[in-house]
């Protein structure tokens, strides 16, 4: 129980920010490209409550934590409603709307990395804040890589659907009703790690390259 409380305390804010900005980014992108569905339903918001799914965001992660001893965690937020038919160029703009979520997570990972560098630069001794910053980096890199996996309804699946020729895009999109179960099976079989690990490593390398000038300046 103490481990759970400590884990929740460290990860609570990073996870809430990661989920909220990911979903809000989809909503902002959709409105920019012509679909106001999420905006009209109040989902173009930075209020975490608007995006939390009681079952997927709270209950499932807690049950998995206790049932697997913290070895396996999974959860999801309430998907932002998007009417792709309302986009100005539906097939093309679908990719940009889908990419907005992972892009928001990558940006947040960068911001948490800057916080971690700032804590070291100002010699902040409290470990809790450093742990939270590291949790923020990890959480957002995981969301970035996971959501880019090319199976609908994940963002990567929508991006791939957008890039495929119409004939193949239509057939590929038919996977969507089964996508969640396919992804869960790949997670349980530990196959998804073959995608997650290299994508996260690439993203982390890019982040380190981006902050390198700052590190050189501080040193």
Coil, strand or helix: which one is 164?
A: coil
Kindly report the average pLDDT of the chain as a whole number.
88
Q: Shortest CA distance to 153 belongs to which of 216, 57, 79, 77?
A: 79
70 or 201, higher pLDDT: 201
pTM score of the predicted model: 0.90
64 pLDDT band, cuts 50/70/90, is low
Which tokens belong to 44? 């173009």
| Catalytic residue (choose from 18, 21, 23, 82) | 23
Mean pLDDT of 122-140: 90
* Alpha helix segments (H runs only) across the chain: 2-32, 37-40, 60-68, 90-121, 127-147, 155-163, 166-173, 176-188, 193-218
Identify the sign of the CA torsion 123, 109, 18, 200. negative
Whether the predicted pLDDT of 187 surpasses 90: no
d(CA 152, CA 171): 12
**Which single residue is written with the structure tokens 């990719």?**
95
How high is the pLDDT of residue 12?
Answer: 83
How high is the pLDDT of residue 72?
Answer: 55
How high is the pLDDT of residue 15?
Answer: 86
d(CA 88, CA 90): 6
d(CA 136, CA 1): 22
How high is the pLDDT of residue 1?
Answer: 58
Contacts of residue 200, defined as CB under 8 A and 6 or more positions apart, other chains included, come to: 141, 142, 144, 145
Q: Within the chain, how many helices (H) and strands (E) appear?
A: 9, 0
Which tokens belong to 21? 């900005």
Is 126 annotated in the active site?
no
Whether the predicted pLDDT of 69 surpasses 70: no
Q: Shortest CA distance to 137 belongs to which of 100, 108, 99, 101?
A: 108
Peptide bond into 207 cis (omega under 30): no
Whether the predicted pLDDT of 111 surpasses 60: yes
Q: Cβ(147)–Cβ(22) under 8 Å?
A: yes
211 pLDDT band, cuts 50/70/90, is very high
Q: Picking from 1-10, 65-74, 86-95, 177-186, which range would have the lowest pLDDT averaged per residue? A: 65-74
pLDDT (tens digit, 9 = 90+) per residue, 36-53? 999 998 888 888 888 888
DSSP state of 123: T
Whether the predicted pLDDT of 34 surpasses 60: yes
Mean pLDDT of 181-198: 88
**Which single residue is written with the structure tokens 């093309």?**
92
């Amino acid at each position: 129980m103490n481990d759970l409380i400590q884990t929740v305390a460290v990860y609570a804010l990073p996870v809430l920010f990661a989920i909220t900005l990911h979903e809000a980014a989809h909503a902002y992108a959709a409105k920019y490209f012509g679909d106001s569905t999420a905006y009209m339903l109040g989902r173009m918001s930075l209020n975490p409550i608007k995006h939390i799914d009681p079952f997927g965001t709270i209950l499932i992660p807690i049950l998995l934590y206790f049932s697997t001893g913290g070895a396996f965690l999974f959860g999801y937020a309430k998907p932002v409603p998007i009417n792709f038919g309302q986009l100005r160029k539906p097939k093309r703009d679908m990719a940009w709307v889908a990419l907005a979520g992972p892009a928001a997570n990558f940006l947040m990972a960068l911001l948490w990395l800057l916080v971690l560098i700032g804590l070291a630069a100002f010699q902040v001794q409290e470990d809790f804040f450093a742990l939270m910053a590291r949790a923020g980096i990890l959480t957002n890199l995981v969301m970035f890589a996971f959501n880019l996996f090319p199976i609908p309804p994940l963002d990567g699946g929508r991006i791939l659907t957008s890039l495929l020729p119409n004939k193949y895009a239509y057939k590929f999109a038919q996977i969507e009703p089964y996508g969640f179960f396919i992804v869960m099976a790949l997670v349980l079989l530990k196959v998804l790690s073959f995608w997650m690990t290299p994508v996260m490593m690439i993203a982390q390398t890019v982040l380190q390259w981006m902050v390198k000038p700052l590190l050189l300046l501080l040193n």
